[in-house]
């Protein structure tokens, strides 16, 4: 699961939630390391303006890196697409009109 919120004029930040339901400490840390690396790759596309939280589900423990990356990219793209109308409204509200 992936949640994203606009964070105007701030660098993009990521948070990860990997509960004990995912597995033991070694498994949870492996999942976190993989998710961090995948998230770092998405920073090139969105270096600023987002606050992202990734919640790993138990199936992440058995997913390989490619599968985890594919799921992440789908969820990230969907979350960013949902934010686009909100971001346009924010940008429109911060623009100054001709009489200001």
Write down the pLDDT at residue 83: 85
C-beta of residue 10 within 8 angstroms of C-beta of residue 41: no
Which segments in the chain show pLDDT lower than 50?
A: 89, 96-100
Category of 49 on φ-ψ map: left (φ > 0), alpha (ψ -120 to 50) or beta: left
In eight-state DSSP terms, residue 61 is: G
Q: What angle do CA 28, 83, 10 make, to 5 degrees?
A: 75
Strand pairing of 2-11 and 48-56? antiparallel
Domains observed in the chain: 2-84 (3.30.230.10)
Question: Residue 13 and residue 51: Cα distance in Å, rounded?
Answer: 5
Which uninterrupted H or E stretch holds 14?
A: strand 13-18
Write down the pLDDT at residue 75: 94
């Amino acid at each position: 699961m992936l949640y994203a919120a606009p964070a105007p004029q701030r660098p993009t930040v990521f948070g990860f939630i990997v509960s004990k339901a995912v597995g033991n400490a070694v498994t949870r840390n492996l999942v976190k390391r993989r998710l961090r690396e995948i998230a770092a790759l998405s920073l090139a596309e969105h270096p600023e303006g987002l606050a992202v939280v990734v919640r790993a589900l138990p199936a992440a423990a058995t997913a390989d890196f490619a599968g985890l990356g594919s799921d992440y990219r789908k969820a990230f793209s969907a979350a960013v697409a949902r934010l686009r109308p909100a971001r346009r409204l924010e940008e429109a509200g911060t623009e100054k009109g001709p009489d200001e």
